[in-house]
């Protein structure tokens, strides 16, 4: 890990005691439109300083739950090596008994994250995304932000994509697309879940600072309702990806990402008493 310039708000616990761990993955290698996700982990941490650690929705406090910020993975390496480093970081957090909350970075970081989680047993992936990300190759590459859910589907037992509204046409018959209200029927009982939130799943009117904005989409409160749905389910980790700080001059998108991280930790890992 590198030295971290900032710490996520309320992340004062230590690994081994913490229930969740913030992991920065500033990968920016295969972006195809607007750049900047390499700066996202720092922007999200900075934005978190403006927020309270208490969730009035889920009535838990981040500080009481125990969260640690383990810093950023060094992604200044060839893509394969950078992905291996992310996988190792997620594996180490899981091995310490904490749930990884990975702050991307481009969506490609989901692949090594689910690979690390799947090493521990069967896994299903819930992905909030405006795009299907199901291409087999994109610009001649098998691993990229546009193929990440295809590659991840080869690792997990089941893939559920919520919020997709931009398709390339070759995936219209895929069974993985699901409406938000139908997700609970699709989830495999007792199979651990990895949650991936691509911020472009949200309406760009609410979260404009993303790499590939797409009109329409989920509202912030729709995502909160999905967190309610997943509360009590065996969610082992999550990621938040595709923030583009250069296109977020007001900072509202970074604040949205930081707030979703707080609400997700309180919802998904706040149902039982804190550890330690």
The pLDDT assigned to 276 comes to: 32
Q: Containing domain of residue 39, as a range?
A: 20-268
Domain assignment present for 13: no
Structural domain includes residue 6:
no
Model pLDDT for residues 57-78, shown as the tens digit of each residue: 999 999 999 999 999 999 999 9
Residue 34: band (very low, low, confident or very high) from pLDDT cuts 50, 70, 90: confident
- Check residues 184 and 274 and name the one with the higher pLDDT: 184
Assess if residue 5 is contained within a domain.
no
d(CA 222, CA 220): 5
- pLDDT value at residue 5: 57
The count of structural domains within the chain is: 1
Compute the mean pLDDT over every residue in the chain, rounded to the nearest whole number.
94
Residue 161 falls within a domain, yes or no? yes
Residue 276 is assigned to a structural domain of this protein: no
| Residue 275 lies inside a defined structural domain of this protein | no
pTM, to two decimals? 0.95
Has residue 213 been placed in a domain?
Answer: yes
- Flag whether 274 is in a domain: no
Task: Dump pLDDT digits (tens) for 162-171.
Answer: 999 999 988 8
pLDDT in tens, 115-130: 999 999 999 999 999 9
> What CATH number does residue 192 fall under?
3.40.800.10
């Amino acid at each position: 890990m590198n030295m971290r310039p900032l710490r996520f708000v309320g992340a004062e616990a230590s690994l081994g005691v913490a229930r969740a761990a913030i992991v920065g993955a500033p990968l920016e290698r295969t972006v195809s439109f607007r750049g900047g996700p390499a700066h996202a982990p720092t922007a999200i941490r900075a934005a978190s300083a403006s927020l309270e650690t208490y969730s009035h929705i889920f009535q838990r406090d981040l500080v009481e739950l125990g969260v640690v910020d383990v810093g950023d993975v060094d992604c200044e390496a060839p893509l394969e090596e950078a992905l291996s480093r992310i996988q190792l970081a997620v594996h180490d957090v899981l091995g310490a008994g904490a749930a990884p909350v990975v702050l991307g970075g481009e969506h490609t970081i989901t692949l090594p994250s689910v690979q690390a989680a799947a090493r521990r047993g069967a896994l299903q992936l819930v992905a909030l995304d405006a795009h299907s990300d199901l291409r087999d190759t994109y610009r001649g590459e098998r691993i990229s932000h546009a193929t990440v859910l295809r590659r991840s589907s080869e690792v997990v037992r089941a893939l559920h994509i919520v919020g997709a509204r931009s398709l390339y046409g070759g995936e219209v018959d895929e069974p993985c697309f699901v409406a938000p209200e139908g997700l609970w029927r699709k989830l495999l009982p007792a199979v651990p879940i990895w949650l991936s939130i691509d911020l472009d799943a949200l309406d760009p009117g609410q979260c404009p600072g993303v790499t590939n904005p797409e009109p329409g989409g989920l509202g912030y409160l729709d995502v909160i309702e999905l967190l309610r749905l997943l509360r009590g389910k065996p969610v082992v980790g999550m990621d938040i990806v595709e923030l583009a700080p250069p296109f977020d001059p007001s900072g509202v998108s970074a604040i949205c990402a930081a707030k979703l991280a707080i609400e997700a930790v309180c919802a998904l890992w706040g149902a039982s008493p804190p550890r330690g």
